[in-house]
Chains A and B, each alone.
Chain A
């Protein structure tokens, strides 16, 4: 597993974490290149199905990050998101989906260092866990092989 470079998708809100990640860059702080950032208007918009899509398309890990409580640009989006994550994480865990592969965090626009830490730590953890083999077996790409579908 030495050479394994995990694919990590980060779903972040526009107002805090995305700006925070920008600050990481402008502050010239180096962080792991395994993360692909997808910008959302608000964590409240990050539907649980979007996270499933990431795993289905080959992600080994996911980061979901937005404004600290009370800092939401729309006042309450992150509060709603937090409730949803509490429930969704329970459900994922119960259905056998590895919640260690999803990192939730609050990163403000001023926390460039924290963002680098979140990404680096997450990358380190996913490297230890290895590729998400269970989910890879049912990933979208499994349909594209040359075999037909069986009648089983």
Chain B
């Protein structure tokens, strides 16, 4: 940790960066994002097992961007978010200084997207076995059991849009939910409004989701939203050979095609 504080202090003093997004101590056993701009603030940096938030979402937050040149403490999910955002032309190479927190407490500085891409090839980036099991359990159900399951989950939804706000890929200035001419997604948080919203969100993240799990973590009503997009990862990989957040110049799987894309349901 001291290494990190020293490093960040130095980066700030020599003006390599103006602000460093890292973790600080939060309420109870939580951690929280902090925005370090001075050597004094750097002393508040911590890194422990509960520092799991994907901080990459902050890179596009208006007020954070305007603090100056950004540095960030990234975990694997944040590294992938950065590459995905780069592939969507939201971040340029060299624009953000990336420190990666290794599991052993040391850290690596990534100088460019290329080195992030190289690193990600050597590390585990998939969804966890627990998540795989939950998806498999749902897939083993009948269609109508799945309908009941999701209906009960979506019933809890209060449309606070924490899932959208927490997602590093949900950066649209005007989200489909905000469009009212025509009103695609009912504003109301009734059963139909909730179902429409979550289907839309999952579809718009298909092929872009980097399985960081922020949506489900953010949900105050504990809805396992991440499963919706996680479930689409393997068919997109198998069908189109695409995985989000692995290359900074990747093409979005749903904005391209192959003449021989395979399906078995069109007559």
Contacts and interface: CB of A to CB of B under 8 A. Distances in A.
Q: Do A and B bind each other?
A: yes
A93 B235 CA distance: 13
Interface residues of B, number: 45
B112 interface: no
A86 B239 contact: yes
B147 interface: yes
Contacts of B195: 95, 138
A80 B138 CA distance: 28
Interface in A80-100: 80, 82-99
Contacts of B138: 94
B184 A49 contact: yes
Given A94-B139, A105-B266, A105-B267, A86 B261 contact: yes
A137 B147 CA distance: 12
Contact of B149 (A85, A96, A118): A96
Nearest to A80: B257
Nearest to B200: A49
B149 A69 contact: no
Contact of B267 (A56, A83, A85, A103): A103
B250 interface: no
Interface stretch (B13-21, B44-52, B73-81, B202-210): B202-210
Contacts of A106: 266-267
Given A94-B138, A140-B192, A83 B261 contact: yes
B257 A118 contact: no
Chain A, interface SS category: helix
A143 B143 CA distance: 25
Contact of A139 (B146, B147, B192): B192
Nearest to B240: A83
A91 B263 contact: no
B57 to A, nearest CB: 23
Identify the interface centre among A80, A82, A84, A91: most chain B CB within 10 Å of its CB: A91
Contacts of B206: 87, 91
A91 B203 contact: yes
A104 B199 contact: no
Interface of A: 48-49, 52, 56, 69-70, 76, 79-80, 82-99, 103-106, 118, 134, 137-140, 143
29 contacts: A48-B199, A49-B176, A49-B184, A49-B200, A70-B259, A76-B257, A80-B255, A82-B257, A83-B257, A87-B206, A87-B236, A90-B232, A91-B202, A91-B232, A93-B143, A94-B231, A94-B232, A95-B199, A95-B228, A96-B145, A99-B143, A99-B265, A103-B267, A104-B267, A106-B266, A134-B147, A137-B191, A138-B191, A138-B192
Given A88-B203, A96-B147, A99-B143, 20 more contacts: A48-B199, A48-B203, A49-B185, A70-B259, A82-B257, A82-B266, A83-B239, A86-B239, A87-B203, A87-B206, A87-B232, A87-B235, A93-B146, A94-B232, A95-B146, A95-B198, A96-B143, A104-B265, A138-B191, A138-B192
Interface of B: 138-139, 143-151, 176, 184-185, 190-192, 195-196, 198-200, 202-203, 206-207, 228, 231-232, 235-236, 239-240, 253-259, 261, 263, 265-267
Counting from the closest, the 3 A-B pairs by CB-CB distance are: A96-B147, A96-B146, A79-B257
